[in-house]
Amino acid sequence: MKKWQTFPYPDDRFDYSRSALQKAWKALHSSDLVPWPTGKQDDACIQAWQHFHAGRFQQAYEVAAKVAPYAFAAQCKAMITYADHLEDHENRQQALYEEAASIAEQACEKFPELAAAHYFHAYALGRYGQSISVVKALRQGLGSKVAESLEKALELAPDYPDAHLAMGLYHAEIIDKVGKMVARMTYGCTRDKAMHHLQQALQLNPRPPVTQIEYGNGIIMLFGDEQLELANDCYRQAAASEPLDAMEKLDQTFAEAEVAAL
């Protein structure tokens, strides 16, 4: 495997000891609802998460892969975060999303009652669809698979912040790409449903910068310039946030660049 790029903002605060990680777990995973690792392979799972939160994404992926599927969430999140922010080659980025979707699909089969498994399947598949173009992904039937996985995640965990955020963006992006009428008649997507899920995500867990960023992105897709200032306020809040780990630092830095460009 090609060596992944190094996380560009190393910070000792993100390098959690096992005990510190357990204390910070609720805050770090308030969005994705991944439970603290217990049972089989818990040591390796915890080590994978330590690597992830510190920004050692390739090490997180490799440690997690050795105990698959138990550390699927750390493996998927490392791949997706790295692909989102640090992979600069389109084909490799798509390959990471596609592999993450496959890993999460296996986790759904192994842990069918775990909401996070279904969420990560939707998350990875959605990112893959975006990377090949949303319209092309819809033609391939990926949209319905994303929706089904998100619906299952929310059925198992109705107050799942990231699943609500992803569902809101699913509706918003389809409306943005195919128009309101086709989105409603063909995919059942509406502005009201999008806003319901986006607002739920914001209400449940407003702190992480990604919540503010994606809420702002959803607003732009749904309302355009009509609500531009609201979206910009979201980016400003994300830029002003205090990151708790490497992923949040990457999100915050992205938001800072957005605000600087206003």
Domain limits, the chain: 12-260
The phi, psi pair for 261, rounded to 5°, reads -85, -5
Would you say the C-alpha torsion 11, 17, 23, 27 has a positive or negative sign? positive
Predicted pLDDT of residue 148: 98
Predicted pLDDT of residue 39: 80
Predicted pLDDT of residue 135: 87
> What CATH code is assigned to 12-260?
1.25.40.10
**Long-range contact list for 173-178, CB < 8 A, 24+ apart?**
173/130, 173/134, 173/221, 174/134, 174/138, 174/143, 175/221, 175/222, 176/221, 176/222, 177/134, 177/135, 177/138, 178/135, 178/138
Q: What is the pLDDT of residues 224-255, one digit of tens each?
A: 999 999 999 999 999 999 999 999 999 999 99
- H/E run at residue 167: helix 161-178
Predicted pLDDT of residue 40: 76
What single string gives the DSSP state of each residue in 94-132? Answer: HHHHHHHHHHHHHHHHH-TT-HHHHHHHHHHHHHHHHHH
- Stretches in the chain below the pLDDT threshold 50: none
Q: What is the pLDDT of residues 31-65, one digit of tens each?
A: 999 999 998 799 999 999 999 999 999 999 999 99
